[in-house]
Each structure stands twice: as C-alpha cells, then as structure tokens.
Amino acid sequence: MNWKIIAIVFITLFVLETAAISGIYYIGMKEIEKENICYYDVCEEYPEALIDGDICRCYEYDLLGELVIAKTKLMK
C-alpha cells in the first residue's frame, strides 16, 4: 500500500515539473521573439536597439557620436 502512495506522489511531481519547465520555455521563447521583432523589424535601419519590458527603443548616433533615441515602439 505504501508504494502506491509513493508512486502517486512521484507521478504528480513529475507532471508538475514538466508543466513548470514547459511554461518557462514558452515565456522565454516569447521574449526572444519580441527581441527579434524589435531588432530585425522595428529597428532594422538603426545601428542599436534595446528592448525594455514591452518598449522597443531604436538608437542612432548623433553628430557628436553619442547614441540618442531615434524611435520608440510599444511591443504588445
């Protein structure tokens, strides 16, 4: 009888672990997709890009050689 309880506990833990890993992977892939859209679609003509949360900022160099914000887009 004890081995059945242990088996149920291990199966439950395995399912929870698999769900957690899948969720983390899904969130990570969404973040990578947002970064790629920011870098390669929104800021393709600018030399630098930065994504901060849901805000994509494109940077360009001014006459003094410093980076300034050229374009900002909300990523949803």
- pLDDT at residue 55 in the model: 93
pLDDT class for 49, splitting at 50, 70, 90?
A: very high
Element housing 61 (H / E): strand 55-61
- pLDDT at residue 53 in the model: 84
**CB distance 60 to 46 below 8 Å:** yes
Rounded to an integer, the average pLDDT of 62-66 is 92
Rounded to an integer, the average pLDDT of 19-39 is 94
- pLDDT at residue 76 in the model: 76
* Domain boundaries of the chain, sorted by first residue: 2-74
Smallest CA-to-CA distance from 42 within 13, 73, 11 is with 73
* pTM of this prediction exceeds 0.85: no
Average pLDDT, the chain: 93
